[in-house]
Amino acid sequence: MSWDQEYSAKLMDADAAVRGIESGNRIVVGQAISQPPALMHALARRAEAGEIDQVRVYYYHSEHHMRESILRYELMGRILPHCMFWQAGERELEKRGLADGGRKVVFYVPNSFSQATRFLTDEVNVDTLLITVSPMDKDGYFTFGTNNDYSSTVARHVKRLLVEVNPAMPRVFGRSQLHVSEVHAIVENHVPLLEHKPRTVVPEELVIAKHIAGLVPDHACLQFGVGGLPNAVCDALRERKHLGVHTEVLTPGIAKLIRSGAVSNRYKALNTGKSVFTFALGDREMYDFLNENIGLESHPVDYVNDPAVIAQNDNVVSVNSTIEMDLTGACNSEHVNGHQFTATGGQLDFVRGAYASRGGKSILAFQSSCKSGTISKIVPRLSGPVTTPRTDVHYVVTENGFANLKGMSSTERAMALIGLAAPQFRAELTREAHERFLI
């Protein structure tokens, strides 16, 4: 049987593809852009008809198609969302459940992103994966496109691998190939990929970006998160020489930095000459940039985010953000007002990997206040869990400057962080520091 014949034999509509999913199954859905609309809507129809119940769904970062299908509130109970990275959809489900007599409908799974593949395959023992892939080539290979992350590893451990082929999904190099012989069912769906347009950069972020750029030397190997600040930092680095990229997420800002000529990846010890990522989040222009770009490689998250792998490149500079930081340097990057708001994600992976790199710098950058300057993001005590321990924090950057906390005493840390806080909060923070015998 040729690969085209095998493809045709496995091709079916979405309703037929999900027919084998049973009550009590544990399934994984791809992250963000790779979430397959046709397959998810077909699964939602089965739940709506009462054909399945108590189906656990594990996933990172829900997007529009998922929220409009298997995450609809009326399906909760039949579908049990187990989310590893909270977004607006999960916050809304939690809010509706609380209003509905305190009903628990969505479940957070604490994790570091680098460990997600292991616990999904070893501890959770998931049995089905739903994922969007790029079209098959003449040799029978799809690619995972924008989302290698946990999907490429989970795909080799499940009993049912259901793929949705979308011509809009870019074809990506690296360890991103998936052969038709590994797939159990194929669905075709021609829809535009969801896009994340870069948001407008605010003035404080431009100041922070300038501080960060001053910490980034030529030949540095970069990791950035998402948002306006990382894009501003990328803009500030266009005159650097021979930068490298080893990042969890590839964004429009990083793509523009690569196109500017500042990135060569020449001095990377691993994947020399290649910009490495595990998932991509951006707009159509960026997805076109990814397509068959030999200078880019996508790899599984348990490789890209492994601190031991990150540390093998020299001069790694990792830039992430946080919701609040206490006066000793501990960070809460996931809780707001007593509720899960986002998640740990890959922050701790790169904080540790960057510092372990020879010449590396781990940077946590954020605006010193929020809500029009009424709330300080540097606080006496965290209001949520510790995402990054104080023992791991290296550089801290706000619009008011930066500090290297490594080697500082608790007193020195408190004084440095008070100096990075918004001026209107410094007196109160100083008083709190005295009460806690930090200074």
Whether residue 1 has pLDDT greater than 90: no
Q: Are 280 and 286 in contact (CB under 8 A)?
A: yes
What would the CATH number be for the domain defined by 3-188?
Answer: 3.40.1080.10
pLDDT at residue 228 is higher than 90: no
* Mean pLDDT score, 153-163: 98
CB 130 within 8 A of CB 25: no
pLDDT score for 105 = 98
- 187, two tokens: 């669905």
Question: Encoding tokens for residue 411?
Answer: 């007193």
Would you place residue 296 in the very low, low, confident or very high pLDDT band (cuts 50, 70, 90)? very high
Q: Residues, the chain, total?
A: 439
Q: What is the pLDDT of residues 68-92, one digit of tens each?
A: 999 999 999 999 999 999 999 999 9
pLDDT surpassing 90 at residue 357: yes
Q: Is the dihedral of CA 68, 74, 75, 76 positive or negative?
A: positive
Q: Residue 15 pLDDT > 90, yes or no?
A: yes
Q: Are 176 and 148 in contact (CB under 8 A)?
A: yes
Whether the predicted pLDDT of 336 surpasses 90? yes
Question: Would strands 296-298 and 275-277 be described as parallel, antiparallel, or unpaired?
Answer: parallel
Whether the CA torsion 341, 346, 348, 351 is positive or negative: it is: negative
316-320 and 221-224 beta bridge pairing: parallel
> 234-274: per-residue pLDDT in tens?
999 999 999 999 999 999 999 999 999 999 999 999 999 99
Q: What is the DSSP letter of 71?
A: T
Share of the chain above pLDDT 70, in %: 100
Q: How confident is the model at residue 97 (pLDDT cuts 50, 70, 90)?
A: very high
Per-residue pLDDT averaged across 210-235, rounded? 95
Give yes or no for a contact between 393 and 364, defined as CB atoms under 8 angstroms apart: yes
Q: What is the mean pLDDT of the chain?
A: 97
Question: Mean of the pLDDT values across residues 4-33?
Answer: 98
pLDDT interval class at 219 (50, 70, 90):
very high
Mean pLDDT of 415-437: 98
Residue 149 near residue 20 (C-beta atoms within 8 A) = no
Q: What is the pLDDT of residue 197?
A: 83
Q: Tell me, yes or no, if 195 is annotated catalytic.
A: no
Helices (H), 49-187: 64-67, 88-99, 116-118, 151-154
- Judge whether 3-188 and 203-435 match in fold: yes
Question: How do residues 124-140 score in pLDDT, each as one tens digit?
Answer: 989 999 999 999 999 99
Domain 203-435 in this protein, CATH class? alpha beta
Q: Is the pLDDT of residue 439 over 90?
A: yes
DSSP H/E element including 275: strand 275-277
Question: What is the residue extent of each domain of the chain?
Answer: 3-188, 203-435
Cβ distance 240 to 260 under 8 Å? no
From 63, 164, 248, 399, active-site residue: 248
Residues 6+ apart with CB under 8 A from 180: 3, 6, 7, 10, 136, 140, 141, 142, 186
Largest CA distance in the chain: 76
- pLDDT of 298: 98
Share above pLDDT 90 across residues of the chain, in percent, rounded to a whole number: 97
pLDDT beyond 90 at 200: no
Q: How much is the pTM?
A: 0.96
